[in-house]
């Protein structure tokens, strides 16, 4: 028996007239310093280009066919979908963003390339060297930074002056510090939350968006993961998380963990942090990833990850309303955007990506049929690289 499903979404495509001839530049010339001849006709954006996703189920096999066509009807060049080779930063530094906080930043890739900023998850997760591999290092100037209290930023695991709005201000301070007029923004999980919030606050500074594992920080999303919903799928991982909390406090695990993660006893903090972090790490991949799960045993990582996450969730992301990000999505619907979502994401279930897709139909919506939450799962990584390649091709 054969069942057919077809999803079609419109995407705006940048096209230039065939009579337009642009000069070429060596990679040493910065993108923002290049001078182009006047254009007699303005480039046009067309909604005629369609991204068609067809999924056919034959027996137990699933076949996904993606078709990107230009306005002329010709097939575009096939996009690279492989992670780039590991690279090292060409510059690093620390930026004092408040009387309390100093954030770590780094740059890699092409110093004169097109700027892209990577927003890590958590909040509190910090960056890692593998984050650089989603971007073509010959084209992109890749900026990573650790958000307040996370990674190499100081003070470690600090909750003081640590809100979504503080982080948005930090992104702007970093952009200005690095003398970047505008940039592409890339974020997954909490990074998608922050990327949307930043873009809605500063739409004129964002040239493109790549979002993965959508998290809108609504009550139903928090309740799903931290109040027992996801336990239906991962009861074995849930019980250690649950059992740290006495039965008389289990009406709100977020509140009970908040109490322990802010205890005066550091050992109580560490115990709660390990349980909190292992719960998330055990559910982040469709197939168990032992290396990822072991991060829950790292007290340094776990403390920042758990304390900062919990702090943001107790405070509902510091947003004025539950649907704040969706309510303001019209501010960014002109930005070229790709949404990548694992079909079996337990941490950030597809309902949020679907809601964003409906509110933002112009964005390319890529559902990876054999993936969970992590950006490092093969299907998700491939779509993220391809999304950056597509934006790259629009800028060449």
189 as an active site residue: the answer is yes
Of the candidates 370, 65, 343, 378, the one whose C-alpha atom is nearest the C-alpha of residue 214 is 343
Q: Which candidate in 189, 199, 302, 352 is catalytic?
A: 189
Residue 252 in tokens: 């709100």
Q: Has 68 been annotated as catalytic?
A: no
Question: Tokens 């000069």, residue?
Answer: 23
Closest CA to 184 of 154, 160, 210, 217: 210
CB 25 within 8 Å of CB 34: yes
Q: How far apart are CA 218 and CA 263, in angstroms?
A: 26
Q: Is 320 exposed, middle or buried (CB count within 10 Å of its CB: 0-12, 13-18, 19+)?
A: exposed
- Rounded distance, CA 387 to CA 360, Å? 17
By the 8 A CB rule, do 281 and 293 touch? yes
- Is the Cβ–Cβ distance between 74 and 98 less than 8 Å? no
345 is catalytic: yes
Q: Which of 345, 357, 364, 374 is catalytic?
A: 345
Pairing of strands 206-212, 337-342: parallel
- Asked whether 339 and 211 are in contact (CB, 8 A), the reply is yes
**DSSP H helical ranges for the chain:** 164-177, 190-201, 219-226, 235-243, 253-261, 266-283, 290-293, 299-314, 324-327, 350-359, 378-395
CB 66 within 8 A of CB 53: yes
* Strand order across the 91-96 sheet: 91-96, 102-109, 140-145, 114-119, 183-188, 206-212, 337-342, 364-368
Instruction: Give the C-alpha separation, 381 to 155, whole Å.
Output: 32
CA-based nearest residue to 196, from 324, 41, 294, 17: 324
Cα torsion angle, 256, 261, 267, 273, sign: positive
Active-site amino acid positions = 189, 345, 373
């Amino acid at each position: 028996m054969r069942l057919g499903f077809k999803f079609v979404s419109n995407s705006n495509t940048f096209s230039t007239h065939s009579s337009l001839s642009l000069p070429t530049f060596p990679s040493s010339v910065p993108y923002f310093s290049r001078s182009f001849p006047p254009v007699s006709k303005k480039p046009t954006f067309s909604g005629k280009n369609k991204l068609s996703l067809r999924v056919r189920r034959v027996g137990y096999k699933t076949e996904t066919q993606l078709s990107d066509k230009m306005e002329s009807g010709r097939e575009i060049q096939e996009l690279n979908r492989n992670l780039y080779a590991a690279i090292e930063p060409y510059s690093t530094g620390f930026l004092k963003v408040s009387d309390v906080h100093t954030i770590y930043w780094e740059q890699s890739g092409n110093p004169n390339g097109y700027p892209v900023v990577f927003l890590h998850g958590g909040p509190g997760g910090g960056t890692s060297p593998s984050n650089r591999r989603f971007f073509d290092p010959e084209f992109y100037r890749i900026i990573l930074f650790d958000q307040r209290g996370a990674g190499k930023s100081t003070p470690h695991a600090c909750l003081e002056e640590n809100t979504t709005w503080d982080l948005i201000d930090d992104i702007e301070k970093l952009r200005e510090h690095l003398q970047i007029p505008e940039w592409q923004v890339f974020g997954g999980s909490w990074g998608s939350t922050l990327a949307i919030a930043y873009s809605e606050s500063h739409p004129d500074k964002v040239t493109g968006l790549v979002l993965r594992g959508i998290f809108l920080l609504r009550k139903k999303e928090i309740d799903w993961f931290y109040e027992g919903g996801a336990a239906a799928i991962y009861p074995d991982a849930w019980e250690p998380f649950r059992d740290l909390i006495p039965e008389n406090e289990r009406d709100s695990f977020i509140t009970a963990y908040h109490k322990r993660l802010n205890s005066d006893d550091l050992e109580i903090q560490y115990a709660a942090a390990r349980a909190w972090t292992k719960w998330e790490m055990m559910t982040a991949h469709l197939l168990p990833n032992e290396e990822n799960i072991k991060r829950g045993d790292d007290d340094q990582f776990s403390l920042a990850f758990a304390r900062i996450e919990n702090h943001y969730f107790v405070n509902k992301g510091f947003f004025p309303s539950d649907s704040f990000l969706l309510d303001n999505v019209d501010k960014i619907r002109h930005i070229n955007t790709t949404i990548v979502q694992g079909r079996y994401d337990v941490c950030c279930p597809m309902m949020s990506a679907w809601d964003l897709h409906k509110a933002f139909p112009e964005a390319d919506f890529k559902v990876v049929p054999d993936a969970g939450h992590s950006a490092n799962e093969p299907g998700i990584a491939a779509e993220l690289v391809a999304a950056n390649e597509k934006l790259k091709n629009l800028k060449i």
